[in-house]
Amino acid sequence: MKILMVNKFLYHRGGAETYAFELADYLRQQGHDVQFFGMEDSRNVYGNELNLNVSHVEFRGVSVRQVTYPFRIIYSREARRKIRQVLNDFQPDYVHLNNINFQLTPSILYEIHAQGIPMIQTLHDFQLVCPNHMMYREHDTTICEKCKGRRYHECVRHRCIHNSRVKSFFGAVEGWLYHRLRTYEMIDAFIAPSQFLADKMVAFGEDGRRIHTIHNFIKRDYDQMQFEKQDYFLYFGRLSIQKGIPTLLRVIRSLPEVPFLIAGGGELEEEVKQANLANLKFVGFKTGEELVKLIGEARATLLPTEWYENCPMAVLESLMVGTPVIGSRIGGIPELVDHEVDGLLFPAADEAALRQQVQRLWSQPDTAAAMAVKARQKVEAFSIDTYGDRLMNLVTPLLKNGRSNP
């Protein structure tokens, strides 16, 4: 089978890229031919036989006063022209879309549809219904659902995109335009990595019949490794307000007898470094086996996020190596963590509740050990083989139809 994987970034950047690259590698191992289409960048690690991608477009930090900029991020003639060439050359059986907005733009959907090629899209965020894709305003740290009912003017009112009224205006125009044109109805099926995201899409007016929940997968590179548990709690990931770092630091400060490790980077890195807490060790950004060892040896990992996480890899990475998770009861996290079984949940942003759960596993190491056993037992449900089977079950009927949704 020939599969064209589409994502605006073709280098290692975030969760969407990790998903697309690892899924492509798996599909190739299964005998499929996979090529990529995205944006030009010297860091690209994947591409297509024509070496044809869209010219680089930077959304953050670019002045919208550039004459062609506002139009290019809404509809890209270049992207449609170039994907036409790639489609004609590769002739894929189906196209697997990931993140496309602002850089590739939905213009490519018209070309794929015109050629009668089935399309599926994995939803890595809320871009179908939210112009800033997050349902979260970074500049005032607020969960936001004000665009519900296609009220995209609320995006402009609250400066939801980069705290810029102008950028928010063009984001709102894009959202309004493509829903007015029913552009996204060309996509045959959507994959939601959490039931929470799927339910939000339906609540905001999307057709639930085309949305299929398939939780993300985890590569089982380290699941057979054994770890000797140490006495510390670990947070790893982005250091930002929406990840609950200020709340976490207050909890750490209030529990001087409990050791904590933080691994990661981000805008609050200096705040973490300057916390000057005797029970906190900041180890910086870690990857690979070094990070896996930190996760595997922790009594529990902490996920105090305060925004709508969908299917955070931090949970799956913890379960894979037998480490319980103490996570916020928000977004898709409760779908991954079974409360009192392989971890503990608490209300998001509730400092006292987080403190209580940490204290519980600190004072009850046997409870943490029992949860660790249950965590490892869950890994099979999130294996890439399981994911691949569910993906093929979704794709196969589309291929039999032979054309994208009319």
Q: What is the pLDDT of residues 161-191, one digit of tens each?
A: 889 998 899 889 888 988 899 999 999 999 9
Would you give the DSSP letter of residue 11? S
Q: Judge whether residue 111 has pLDDT over 80.
A: yes
Whether residues 126 and 274 fall in one domain: no
Per-residue pLDDT band at 103 (split at 50, 70, 90) = confident
Instruction: Answer yes or no: is pLDDT of 401 > 90.
Output: no
Same-domain pairing of 212 and 190:
yes
Does residue 134 belong to any structural domain of this protein?
A: yes
Mean pLDDT of 108-120: 97
Q: At what angle do helices 351-363 and 245-254 cross, to 10 degrees?
A: 50
The pLDDT assigned to 139 comes to: 86
In a domain, 227, yes or no: no
Does residue 69 share a domain with residue 199?
yes
Q: What is the mean pLDDT of the chain?
A: 92
User: Is residue 225 assigned to a domain?
Assistant: no
Question: Are 66 and 194 members of one domain?
Answer: yes
Q: What is the pLDDT of residues 188-215, one digit of tens each?
A: 999 999 999 999 999 999 999 999 999 9
pTM score: 0.89
Claim to verify: residue 114 and residue 245 sit in the same structural domain: no
With CA atoms as reference, report the closest residue to 121 among 49, 45, 201, 48.
Answer: 201
Contact by Cβ (8 Å): 118, 111: no
3-state secondary structure of 281: strand
**Residue 257 and residue 173 share a domain:** no
What does the alpha-carbon distance between residue 79 and residue 32 come to, in Å, rounded to a whole number? 25
**246 and 145 belong to one structural domain:** no
**Residue 313 contacts residue 236 (beta carbons within 8 Å):** no
User: Do the domain assignments include residue 223?
Assistant: no
pLDDT by residue (tens digit) across 121-157? 999 999 999 998 899 998 888 999 999 999 999 999 9
Q: In degrees to the nearest 10, what's the CA dihedral of 341, 343, 348, 353?
A: 90
The enclosing domain of 157 has a CATH number of: 3.40.50.2000
Residue 10: closest CA among 19, 2, 1: 19
Query: How many Cβ atoms from other residues are within 10 Å of residue 338's Cβ?
Result: 17
User: Do 125 and 203 sit in the same domain of this protein?
Assistant: yes
Q: Is the pLDDT of residue 402 over 90?
A: no
Domain that holds residue 115: 2-217+384-401
Do 345 and 388 lie in one domain? The reply is no
DSSP SS3 for 132? coil
Q: How high is the pLDDT of residue 70?
A: 58
- Is the pLDDT reported for residue 406 higher than 80? no
In this prediction, residue 63 carries a pLDDT of 45
Number of separate domains in the chain: 2
